[in-house]
Amino acid sequence: MTAAAIARVTLLFSLLVLAPSSLMARNPPALLPLPQSAVFGGGEFRLTPAAGVYADGRLAAARDAVQLLLAPATGYPFPGVEKDVPGGIRFLFDPGRPAEGYRLKVTPAGVEIHASAPAGAFYALQTLRQLLPPAIYARQPLAADWTIPTVAIEDAPRFAWRGMHLDVGRHFMPVAFIRKFIDLLALHKMNTFHWHLTEDQGWRIEIQRYPQLTAVGAWRAQTMTGSIMDLRRERQAYDGTPHGGFYTQEEVREIVAYAAARHVTVVPEIEFPGHAQAAIAAYPELGNSGARVKVKEEWGISRHTLKPSPETLAFYRNVLTEVMALFPSRYIHIGGDEVSKDEWAASPYAQQRMAQLDLADENALQSWLIRQMDDFLDANGRSMVGWDEIMQGGLSPNATVMSWRGMGRGLRAAQAGHDVVMAPTAWTYFDYYQGDRAREPQAIGSYLPLRKVYAFDPAPAELPAAVRERILGAQGQLWTEFMRTPEHVEYMAYPRAAALAEVLWSAQQQRDYAGFQQRLPSHLRRLDHYGVNYRPPGNDALGLRARLEYWLWTAATGLYFWWQD
Ligand code: ACM
């Protein structure tokens, strides 16, 4: 070929390939969370009804993932093909990658996914969906042009624990919504669903040995509608409407399996020895006085705690035995937060028990009780997680700490060699207001706008490496005192959980709020197709009064947390 011919071919190539490529570079699909790297080409690949799926035997589960993630909207069959032939979607085993990492290559000939484990293959498919039109998130077949731009993506997550918590104790949420909640976690490459199943206001999981827990404990006669911040008793109204519900063991099994198919681990929380009023309502002998109490109808911390007796411990070990049979999670959460010590201080039995066990004070009693649970879970091959109050009176040896009263306690636990999940109120409490409360539905208080969630760093670089290594990750909290419906949960969760997903998946140096804001509208089109009632972003500035309230809240909770230990 002559030099002139080469020049002509080069020019033609540039026009055909590079020009669309630069167009694409200006307007790439909105990947969220951001992958480690994405290099777009200029071509495209079109999914058709003929697209087959090849999977290396070690990634066979990825075929099911294709059915879950690509079949509903396209209506295509995606038949399995036995030979590794080009075209369609191919899952290739690549032992060099972390379990949740992947390489995704789209060429005009098809889609190639390299992973060392089904989780990585699954996340590659989640990314592939973001390369398709947003209609791919529809739950029934739609006519659309299922075209994918050519690209090479390398990716792996920053943190191992990428979670969302959901409190179903304050308000019960139906099974269908729990499934959707899990879908949304998986869509955002989150892998942990912390299911807060027991509370003062409701016990939500069937325990076959103790049927009263749900027969009595899952139901309350009415619910306080006023704000807990309102100290004037007469303004604390009640709705007069019974509320309740629980999950049968069959439903729990089904949800755990549903989550596992989406690479989400369900971590159950059974609150102990506080936040247990519903259990005491069901079995009064669990309480310090033995008196019958109601399932709590107000928000705030109950003064009723569990009686520190051998019988109570046996009861909770039996509960945990059923829980462990339902949840394969390595981690089991035993709560441990906001334990009122007043009843123990006033109870001759509790005082006698403390003397017997040579415990100096009520904090030491709490610590001793938590240690019993830690030992029990450890003996059963599980790991105990608890809110950071489990550090009061001494942290038990195998505990993982969920740091909610700021990050300091978590860092102290990490320094002492414990694993830590960051869940600080200021960055991860999605029950806080998203804008001025004059324009928002009632929330618990405080203020956590989207940009602040995005600015969160669970493991800042200035920490010593040994401490950072102990920080497993972080999670967002959804306490549902003021969220009565799934729609309201979605309003509080999204898009803040999408921002948190990027915090947890993407490298810290890649994060950039302006870029996130640019990508967000396209991402919200996806959530539209999935039918998510997210809060439209923006309009989140506080007026003077709300700002003042926020400062007061921050100062008051800061002082309160400091005073507690
Ligand atoms: C908590 O918010 N009580 C963990």
Burial class (CB in 10 A: 0-12, 13-18, 19+), 533: middle
If you take atom 3 of ligand 1, which residue's CA is the nearest one? 337
* pLDDT at 11 > cutoff 50: no
- Give the tokens for residue 285: 């002998």
Q: What percent of the chain has pLDDT over 90?
A: 89
From 404, 422, 557, the mutation candidate for ligand 1 (largest count of ligand atoms within 8 A of CB) is 404
Q: Which pLDDT value is given to residue 441?
A: 96
Q: Which pLDDT value is given to residue 84?
A: 84
Q: Quote the ligand 1 centre to 545 CA distance (angstroms).
A: 26
The pLDDT-based confidence of 15 (bands split at 50, 70, 90) is: very low
Q: Quote the ligand 1 centre to 323 CA distance (angstroms).
A: 21
Q: Quote the ligand 1 centre to 557 CA distance (angstroms).
A: 12
pLDDT in tens, 473-532: 999 999 999 999 999 999 999 999 999 999 999 999 999 999 999 999 999 999 999 999
* pLDDT at 135 > cutoff 80: yes
Q: Rounded to an integer, what distance in angstroms lies between the CA atom of residue 534 and that of residue 528?
A: 9
Average pLDDT over residues 123-145: 96
Q: Quote the ligand 1 centre to 445 CA distance (angstroms).
A: 14
Q: Which pLDDT value is given to residue 438?
A: 94
CATH class of 161-564: alpha beta
Average pLDDT, the chain: 93
Handedness of CA 526, 532, 533, 539 (dihedral sign): negative
pLDDT in tens, 292-329: 999 999 999 999 999 999 999 999 999 999 999 999 99
pLDDT in tens, 222-278: 998 876 666 555 557 899 999 999 999 999 999 999 999 999 999 999 999 999 999
- Tell me if the bond preceding 133 is cis, omega within 30° of 0: no
Q: Which pLDDT value is given to residue 75?
A: 97
Q: Quote the ligand 1 centre to 472 CA distance (angstroms).
A: 19
Pairing of strands 110-115, 102-107: antiparallel
Any idea which residue has 């009061």 for tokens? Answer: 392
pLDDT in tens, 264-274: 999 999 999 99
Ligand 1 proximal residues by C-beta, below 6 Å: 337-338, 387, 404
Q: Which pLDDT value is given to residue 21?
A: 39
3-state secondary structure of 105: strand
Q: Quote the ligand 1 centre to 425 CA distance (angstroms).
A: 9
From 479, 480, 553, the mutation candidate for ligand 1 (largest count of ligand atoms within 8 A of CB) is 479
Q: Quote the ligand 1 centre to 478 CA distance (angstroms).
A: 10
Pairing of strands 243-244, 219-220: antiparallel
If you take atom 1 of ligand 1, which residue's CA is the nearest one? 337
- Tell me if the bond preceding 20 is cis, omega within 30° of 0: no
Handedness of CA 279, 282, 286, 290 (dihedral sign): positive
CATH class of 25-155: alpha beta
Q: Which pLDDT value is given to residue 228?
A: 62
Q: Which atom of ligand 1 is nearest the CA belonging to 402?
A: 4
pTM of the model: 0.94
From 198, 338, 557, the mutation candidate for ligand 1 (largest count of ligand atoms within 8 A of CB) is 338
Q: Quote the ligand 1 centre to 182 CA distance (angstroms).
A: 22
Q: Which pLDDT value is given to residue 225?
A: 82
CB 103 within 8 A of CB 97: yes
Q: Quote the ligand 1 centre to 558 CA distance (angstroms).
A: 14
Q: Quote the ligand 1 centre to 404 CA distance (angstroms).
A: 7
Q: Which pLDDT value is given to residue 83?
A: 87
pLDDT in tens, 327-370: 999 999 999 999 999 999 999 999 999 999 999 999 999 999 99
Q: Which atom of ligand 1 is nearest the CA belonging to 387?
A: 4
User: Which among 19-28, 77-86, 175-184 has the top mean pLDDT?
Assistant: 175-184
Q: Which pLDDT value is given to residue 232?
A: 57
In the chain, where the domains are located: 25-155, 161-564
Q: Which atom of ligand 1 is nearest the CA belonging to 429?
A: 2
The pLDDT-based confidence of 5 (bands split at 50, 70, 90) is: very low
Q: Quote the ligand 1 centre to 423 CA distance (angstroms).
A: 9
Of 21-30, 106-115, 177-186, the poorest mean pLDDT is in 21-30
Q: Which atom of ligand 1 is nearest the CA belonging to 477?
A: 2
Q: Which pLDDT value is given to residue 87?
A: 85
**Rg of the chain on CA atoms, in Å:** 26
More confident residue, 13 or 236: 236
CB 230 within 8 A of CB 303: no
CB 195 within 8 A of CB 166: yes
Average pLDDT over residues 542-552: 95
If you take atom 2 of ligand 1, which residue's CA is the nearest one? 404
Q: Quote the ligand 1 centre to 385 CA distance (angstroms).
A: 13
H/E/C letters for each residue in 335-391? ECCCCCCHHHHHCHHHHHHHHHCCCCCHHHHHHHHHHHHHHHHHHCCCEEEEEHHHH
Q: Which atom of ligand 1 is nearest the CA belonging to 275?
A: 3
Which residues, at least 6 apart from 237, have a Cβ–Cβ distance to it below 8 Å?
224, 225, 226
Which residue type, as a one-letter code, is found at position 86? P
Average pLDDT over residues 415-431: 97
